[in-house]
Each structure stands twice: as C-alpha cells, then as structure tokens.
C-alpha cells in the first residue's frame, strides 16, 4: 500500500503506515484478519490518501478476481465530489494512471475502472443502495454526519458472499447527534481494551478531554500529521480563529456538544417522550423534504398536540402516494412549506383531493416562532425518535428581517423532520382556532 501512495507522489506518514499494517493484516488462509477497520483522526491528517490507497490496493493487488469497491460519504453528492475531485486526480496525475482503463464522470455512473477489471463506485447513502450488488471493499467516509446505520446496512449485506471483504470506516470525532459513530467508537475502544486481534480493528488519534488545548505538547500527542503536512503555526492560528468547540473537534479529535443549539437540550427533553402516540382523529400532517431530495419526513399531530414522526422515507419515490393515503384516510389537512423542496408534490396532492395548507415566506417565520415558544412552554409532546433528535440538535436559524426560519442548508444535518413537525404543530394550532387564518383559507 505505501508504494501505491508513493506512486501518487505522496510519502506515507507513520500513522498511515501503522493503520495499513493493522487493518490489512492477512490470516494464514488468505482472509483479512479484520472484517471491519475503523479509525478516527483530526481533520487534515491525510485521511483521503489513506482510504484511496486501500481502494487502489484492493483494485490492483487482488489478482485472483476483479474487486468491487464502493465508496460513500455523508451524501451521494459528497461522495461524488470526493471521488472525482479528490481521489481521481491523485491517480490521473501519477504513474498509476497506467493501471486505469477509464474514469466515468457522468452523474449516476461515477466510477474508476481498472485494467484488472476491478472498479471503484459510489454507493448512495440509503439502506437499499447496496441491493443487488456485491461488495469486496466498502468505505464509509465522514461517519460523524450519519444519523443512523443506513450506510452500513446498505453495504454489509452485499459483502456476505465475499470471505475476503472488508468494511473501512473513517471520520473525525462527532457531537451529541453522531449516535452511529459514537457506537462504533465505543465498540472499537472496547475491542482494544479486550485485546481482540480479529474481527474489528480500531485506531484513534485524539487528545484527553482534560488536556490543555493551548499546549503544543497536546497537539503533538494527538495530531499524527503535525510536522508532516501541518505545522504548529497552522494549529496556533486555528486556535485563535476558531471557536473552542470546533477546534477541539477538528484538531484534537475530541467529542463535543453543539455550542449553538437553537433549542436547548433541556427544553427538548421536556417535550420529547417515549410514550407519546397521537389519537386517530383530529389529525394534521406536516411534510418536508431535505434540499438534496434524499429523504422526506411526515409528521402527524392530533388536536391534543401529541405528535409523532410517522415516516422518514428515503428519496421522493412514492411520497405523494403516501401523503395522499394518510390524508384521505384520516380526513386530515397537510401543511407544506411552499418555498421548500416538498412544494413539488403539492400539485399532485391537490389533484388527489388532499387539503393543502400552504406556508410561504410570511407564514414560516411566524410558525417557527410559535413552535419555539411551544417547546419552551411544553405546549405539545412528541414521540422521541433519533432522526428528530438529531435534527433538533443540529438545526440552525436563517434570519428573515427581524424574524427567523429553520436554515435548511447550514450544517450536515437533515432537518426535514423538524420542519415537518413545525408545520404540523402550527397548522394544528390554527385548525383549532375558530378565527385561524390558515384554517379559514383551507375551509374555503
């Protein structure tokens, strides 16, 4: 593997060599000693080169049969950008280009095809992404952004018939919303503590929580790229220019708590409960879609203001059918942000007789303010759900004059579940008010 990196014009750093030595250890029967390899490092430590070298090694060194590698990141678009803008140029601008048959750049068909017959493809982030495929090497990059284990569930079943297959996962530390990565970190640390030498390999470069973040000795103790591709001056400048929370996560690989939560954890815990179930009458639905149209959320709330994320769907397929089914079954209005991604299904819903309550640039700030006040006043209850909890933890504001709405494009978190809940709550409040303007408009 180091020879591949050197061929690409990069001298391996000691930490990279160490991870390769551990992660690529082979048993006497030819199988990798570790079915899963996980490592966490500070940012800008050379993670891209580390993973690409493993991908190339798998593609050109497994001579007995062509190998198929699937690379994934936070989203399909992120994976495409990483593959085509970061990884492919390293290969194209080096002698390794001679091993490549073709690089496909067309949307939906991105791949690096090698003359060995092996290939590196992008795998989408949904649970069904790996259906019908066979994977020899699965790579999960930037796992801190994952809300659940859907990427792993898309990859692992496709490795079942490959005894030499491996799953590699890499990331920088996360925050309170990074539940999937936290589980992997806890399992990895436990494997190290128990001295396991098969199954799962785990490597972590991080500073102790109580370390002095201003002491260069702390930096040298946890930044494996320091002195190679990063200097003390760069770290010192980052310490002065970044917030402490982000510096700790990015440069010390420490787990942090979001410092700018719009809805504080304590307030959210007061309304999020495990035993909430909306009644089967007096329902209102809120629907929203993330900007990349990868996921959609449907929230229901009854007239007693008991809410639930009833569906978190992958993609847009069948969304209009499902919303129409729910609305017509319960004779319930559906609230939609007409300036958001879900607006595209409104004409279809209206043709099916669905009663749409349309929110625009005037109504959304008011709805967000009313929702926030309801959280503070415990004016509703909602069934706890990890997707919704993560959306609340990562949500940010977008100012609109002296008001604000939820910022869809800030951060790495899909907030469609939170937007859907906001819409459902506000619509239900208006429905129960005899003079409610939205209800009056809908009734007309």
Banded pLDDT at 411 (limits 50, 70, 90): low
Q: Is the pLDDT of residue 374 over 50?
A: yes
Contact 80, 120 (CB under 8 A): no
- What is the arithmetic mean of pLDDT over 302-328? 95
pLDDT at site 437 = 41
Determine phi and psi for 89, rounding to 5 degrees.
-60, -35
pLDDT digits (tens, 9 = 90+) for 274-314: 999 999 889 999 999 999 898 999 999 999 999 999 999 99
Which of 179-188, 250-259, 372-381 is predicted with the least confidence, judged by mean pLDDT? Answer: 250-259
Name every residue whose Cβ is closer than 8 Å to that of residue 347 and which is 6 or more positions away in sequence: none
Residue in the structure block whose two tokens are 């847009």: 316
Tokens 């939609």 -> residue = 336
pLDDT tens figures, 109-160: 899 999 999 999 998 655 445 455 789 999 999 898 786 788 898 899 999 9
Q: What is the mean pLDDT of residues 65-94?
A: 90
The whole-angstrom separation of Cα 286 and Cα 425 is 8
Matching residue, tokens 């649970």:
127
Half-sphere exposure of 147 (CA within 13 A, CB side): 23
* pLDDT band with cut points at 50, 70 and 90 for residue 388: very high
The DSSP element (H or E) to which 399 belongs, if any, is strand 397-400
Determine the pLDDT at residue 341.
95
pTM: 0.65
Mean pLDDT over all residues of the chain? 89
pLDDT, tens only, 8-29: 888 899 999 999 999 999 999 9
Q: Determine whether 26 is exposed, middle or buried from the number of CB atoms within 10 Å of its CB (0-12, 13-18, 19+).
A: exposed
pLDDT surpassing 90 at residue 348: yes
Instruction: Give the CA count within 13 Å in the CB-facing half-sphere of 117.
Output: 6
Residue the block writes with tokens 């010192």:
236
Percent of the chain clearing pLDDT 70 (strictly above): 92
**Sheet architecture: strand order including 166-171:** 100-104, 111-114, 119-122, 68-72, 137-140, 166-171, 34-40, 199-204
DSSP category for residue 230: B
């Amino acid at each position: 593997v180091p020879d591949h990196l050197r061929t690409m014009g990069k001298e391996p750093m000691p930490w990279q060599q160490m991870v390769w030595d551990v992660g690529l250890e082979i048993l006497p029967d030819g199988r990798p000693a570790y079915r899963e390899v996980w490592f966490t490092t500070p940012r800008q430590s050379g993670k891209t080169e580390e993973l690409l070298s493993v991908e190339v090694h798998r593609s050109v060194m497994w001579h007995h049969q062509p190998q198929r590698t699937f690379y994934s990141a936070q989203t399909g678009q992120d994976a495409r950008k990483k593959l085509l803008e970061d990884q492919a140029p390293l290969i194209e601008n080096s002698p390794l280009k001679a091993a490549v048959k073709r690089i496909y750049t067309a949307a939906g068909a991105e791949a690096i095809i090698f003359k060995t017959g092996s290939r590196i493809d992008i795998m989408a982030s949904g649970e069904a992404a790996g259906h019908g495929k066979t994977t020899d090497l699965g790579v999960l990059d930037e796992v801190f952004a994952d809300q659940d284990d859907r990427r792993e569930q898309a990859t692992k079943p496709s490795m079942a018939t490959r005894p030499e297959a491996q799953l590699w996962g890499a990331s920088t530390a996360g925050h309170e919303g990074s539940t999937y990565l936290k589980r992997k970190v806890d399992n990895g640390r436990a494997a190290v503590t128990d001295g396991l030498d098969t199954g799962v390999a785990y490597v972590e470069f991080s500073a102790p929580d109580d370390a002095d973040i201003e002491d260069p000795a702390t930096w040298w103790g946890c930044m494996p790229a320091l002195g190679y591709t990063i200097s003390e001056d760069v770290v010192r400048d980052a310490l002065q220019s970044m917030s402490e929370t982000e510096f700790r996560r990015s440069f010390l690989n420490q787990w942090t708590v979001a410092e700018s939560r719009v809805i504080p954890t304590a307030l959210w815990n007061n309304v999020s409960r495990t035993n909430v179930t909306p009644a089967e009458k007096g329902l209102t639905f809120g629907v929203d879609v993330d900007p990349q149209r990868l996921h959609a959320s449907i929230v229901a709330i009854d007239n007693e203001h008991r809410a639930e994320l009833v569906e978190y769907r992958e993609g847009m397929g069948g969304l209009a059918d499902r919303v129409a089914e729910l609305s017509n079954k319960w004779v319930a209005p559906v609230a939609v942000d007409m300036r958001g991604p879900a607006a595209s299904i409104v004409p279809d819903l209206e043709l099916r007789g669905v009663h749409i309550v349309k929110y625009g640039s005037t109504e959304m700030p008011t709805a967000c303010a009313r929702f926030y006040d309801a959280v503070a006043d415990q004016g509703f209850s909602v069934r706890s759900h990890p997707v919704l909890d993560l959306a609340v933890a990562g949500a940010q504001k977008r100012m609109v004059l002296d008001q604000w709405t939820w910022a869809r494009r800030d951060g790495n978190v899909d907030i469609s579940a939170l937007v859907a809940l906001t819409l459902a709550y506000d619509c239900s409040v208006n429905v129960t008010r005899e003079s409610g303007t939205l209800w009056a408009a809908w009734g007309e």
